[in-house]
Amino acid sequence: MSFFIGYTQHHVDTREFSDRLAFFYSNMEDSSQTETPWYLEMLLVFAIGKLFSGTFDSGDRAELPGLSMFTHVQARLPSLSELFSLGKLGIEIHALAAVYLQNANRKEEGYLYISSALRLATAHGYHRTSGTKHLLQSEKVHLNRLWWTVYMQERRLAAATGNPSGISDDVIEIDMPNDSPGFPPALPLRTNIRIARVTGRILSTIYGPGNHPEETFVPNVQEIVQSLYWIAKEIPGEFSGKLIVSPSLEGDISLRTSAYLHMMLYQAILLTIRPVMLHVSKLILEEDHDENLNLGASPLGRLSRTCSEAARRLLEVLLTLRRKAILTTFGFFDLDAIFSAAFIMVLTLVVDSSRDECQKLCPSPGLLEALEILDYLVEKGNRFALQRAREVRRMRDHLATFLDIPKNNSPSDVRQQRQKEASSTSTGGGPAGETSQEHPSGLGSTPGDAGDREVLTPSGRSSQLGSRSLLDSSLWNDISYLWQQPLAAEDAQPPDQVPGATELLPYDAQNWASIFYNQDFALTGEDLG
């Protein structure tokens, strides 16, 4: 279980758990051990490990991996009163049960269990500095990390199910996790907590029900973008499967940790910008724009490219995990990331259908690679991936009936075909293979960059590879253009306004509600979050 979660969460103290596990197996003749609450926790860890790795109990794959263990635990769970008397163990048991349920596509039930874990932790006062001051340092560190893991898990499940969060940030007194001897590094956990907070704000601000007054909505979205920028600075600028020279368990855990953080960051970017790309697609499909709609130069066009690029980088991460055989077979966040990226690649087909051949995005990896990853999970027995793959293919095939887009090929196929054609007509160029050389950094490379360390960001400027190139000042400015306020004087100029930017946007785009609060968009809800 810890292998797939990496250092981004902390449900149990692995040292204490390992000691208990060794004692259990060295005293197998003592049947009373199976009557203890800790035995239930051990079974939950095993069940989650089976689910993540896709280790089925039977060859016919009739039920989910680890389900028999989980059902055994569920039938024997103590009451809330008993769990409260168990202290941290009661919290750990309910939090682990929520992990299994969430990854078994039972997120509503998972929300119930993690909410109970949060309330147990709150009742013990673990969110207050006074709640653990009487404990040993190692116990304080464990409880601090357990608290924040439960907090983070509850925030994400509350957002995913459309339910309110169980605690306000204002009442939390304890600091975020810090490095401590004997424990894994704290930075991945802290970063994950911050991403969870921002993701909760994204889903409540952009996708939440009810009216969103402009005077509060606009600053909230801009604060989200700023938060994402600072989070990106905490994550290593590059992600690459080649960072690990020799295979090792520790190296794979570090790789899985880095991949998870990149996945969650790119997911947050997609959630923030996706309504803009949906708006552009709607304009194209309804032909509700004039011939002067310049997606190459307008903020709408740049934001669409940023969204597509974030999805492309997300697929790069997932492909690396698959190549190293450490992609979670039944992983809520892994599957969600694949589907989100695939959906953006479908929208990219719509956007590219309105562009000249030389201006098409044609990201690589693209839609075909996203479907291949979904099919890979289907082959491993993940029936939820089968449902997602069918949805993506249905959307693609439907669009192909009335748009000039490839039905059976991905945008990357189109790009490779254009590269071959350009190579065959070139008089002084090298072989076609040289132009499509894989970038040494893995993530952040763009097809045709021939291995340069500098690439063009979605804003068109040269930037170092990495997450921050998606979150430079141009993203802030492009989003700001969507809400240009009336000027106090006719000759006044908005702050940071580029002359002529107003003309680059269609009239409809200057109304933020038409983009971020459009009830016609059936695919903007948290189901895609």
pLDDT score for 235: 80
Q: What is the pLDDT of residue 454?
A: 38
Residue 460 φ/ψ region, left for φ over 0, alpha for ψ in the -120 to 50 degree band, beta for the rest: left
pLDDT for residue 62: 83
Q: Where are the domains of the chain?
A: 1-185, 232-423+440-484+493-529
pLDDT mean for each 10 residues of the chain (529 residues):
83 94 94 95 96 87 93 96 97 98 96 98 96 93 98 92 89 96 93 92 80 76 85 68 44 84 91 88 76 67 87 94 92 93 94 81 90 96 95 92 66 50 50 35 34 35 42 54 43 38 35 52 43
pLDDT score of 471 = 54
Q: For the residues of 159-222, what is the DSSP string, one character each?
A: HHHT---SS-GGG--SPPP---TTS--SHHHHHHHHHHHHHHHHHHHTS-SS---HHHHHHHHH
pTM: 0.79
Note the pLDDT of residue 212: 72
Are 103 and 48 contacting, i.e. CB atoms less than 8 angstroms apart?
yes
DSSP state of 79: P
Please give the Cα distance from 288 to 508 (Å, whole number).
9
The Cα-based distances of 75 to 40, 45, 71, 396, 475 in angstroms read: 10, 16, 6, 44, 50
- Structure tokens of 445? 């490379």
